[in-house]
Amino acid sequence: MWAHSHQGRKVIRFTSVSVISTLVSFTSISVLYGFHFIKGIIWATVTGNLIATLPSYYLNRTWTWGKRGRSHFRREIVPFWSMSFLGIAVSMLGATGAKALVKSHHWSHLVNTMLVSFTNLASFGLFWILKMIVFNRIFRVHTLEEIEDHLRVEETRSERI
């Protein structure tokens, strides 16, 4: 079954981390913009996404890709933050579109907040697959064959018990 393979587990974990970081981002933007902590749509979007990037890095590194110890600056941190800033740039494009809609319509602040939050959600949804491909290359620890062999041994061991 695919979900029990190494690649399947990795995709499920990456998806779970994406859901968690998306919820953090969505909540942060909704609170920051919705409660007027940050009045600007663009700055609320950037700040909310920066907040969500921190748990995303640590959860992806440790849980999805199983990396331990000190992070390697050039091989892990720089590519991760580069991809994150690219994702934030994509969300800023969405925020710019949301800002234009907010300015051209006289909706309530609640509707505007929902528009800004859901636009950010859609922007990151478009960016998700690219991140999975890149992060898989950044945090790859072993070859897939080595991991599959390890999982077969573990499954055989658990079947004996």
The per-residue pLDDT for range 135-155, each reduced to its tens digit, is: 667 666 555 566 666 667 667
Residue 159 has pLDDT above 80, yes or no: no
Rounded to an integer, what distance in angstroms lies between the CA atom of residue 52 and that of residue 156?
A: 39
- 22-40: pLDDT as tens digits: 999 999 999 999 999 999 9
Going from N- to C-terminal start, the domains of the chain cover 2-160
In this prediction, residue 5 has a pLDDT band, given cuts at 50, 70 and 90, of confident
Q: In the predicted model, what is the mean pLDDT of residues 61-81?
A: 88
**Is the whole model's pTM more than 0.75, yes or no?**
no
Q: What is the share, in percent, of the chain residues with pLDDT greater than 70?
A: 87
Q: Tell me, what amino acid is at 158?
A: S
Q: Give the per-residue pLDDT at 150.
A: 61
Give me the percent of the chain exceeding a pLDDT of 90.
49
pLDDT number for residue 139: 64
Q: Specify the pLDDT at position 114.
A: 94
Burial, 153: exposed, middle or buried (Cβ in 10 Å; 0-12, 13-18, 19+)?
exposed
